[in-house]
Structure 1
């Protein structure tokens, strides 16, 4: 009896193989598959001497940003520590959880906003520890954008931690 059941199941499965269209038909129409690939995108325009293209925000060190730059001014390493001039950023090593969480949120926000973007570094100074500059994005100071999001304050402002932290 078990041989009969096994034989019957084998015949059923063999008969169903012609119905399974997932493996015997292409996913895309043939004319699309045979079409030539789209032309490559043109290269981005060259940058000015005080501009850099951000690839990724890696994180923070105290109140400075670790960036990976795909294009950058001469004398700046591909991975650089940037201290935006006249901007107070939350610190990942702050004494209170609020400021540490703001620093983490800042990294996420900047990765969303800066990836692939060109930033202008006005008044750029290369130091032993990185770069200090006023950062301009799309003609607007970075401070204005970050301040509107609650992720930065003008230099000299009160911090985010309550007194005693």
Structure 2
């Protein structure tokens, strides 16, 4: 249940930037270029591929910014996070957005249907990859904590050894004086 909740939080991090960036783009475009008025209903069909690319790029950047700011999990595990695990966590954020852009730019209904099927396959695959990354992250966290405990134990043993050595030197000095 926790993994599913984390996945839906990640999905929320996808939806919020999309709504925000699209709304901001529509407001700015309608303010500065009032001849071509965009609405959420006609945005995809009316805007140029370059404009749509700007919208989707801002979606991704804002999504990554929110992920960086909100996700406490990544801030806690940055010491031991591997790049492959990080990419597995980000793929569910990025892959559906890119495929959505490709689908929206298609004009043929057959291509849209085929890409929609691929979209759902990629979404399911991304979810499975995300679960694998969460398991890997948990394993890395356990290994990190174990190594951290080993280091603390070694520091304690070294400290105890130094104290014991000092006590032994003190005892030898006392025996010598006696």
TM-score (norm 1): 0.25
Tell me which protein shows more helix as a share of its residues: 2
Give 1 or 2: higher strand fraction: 1
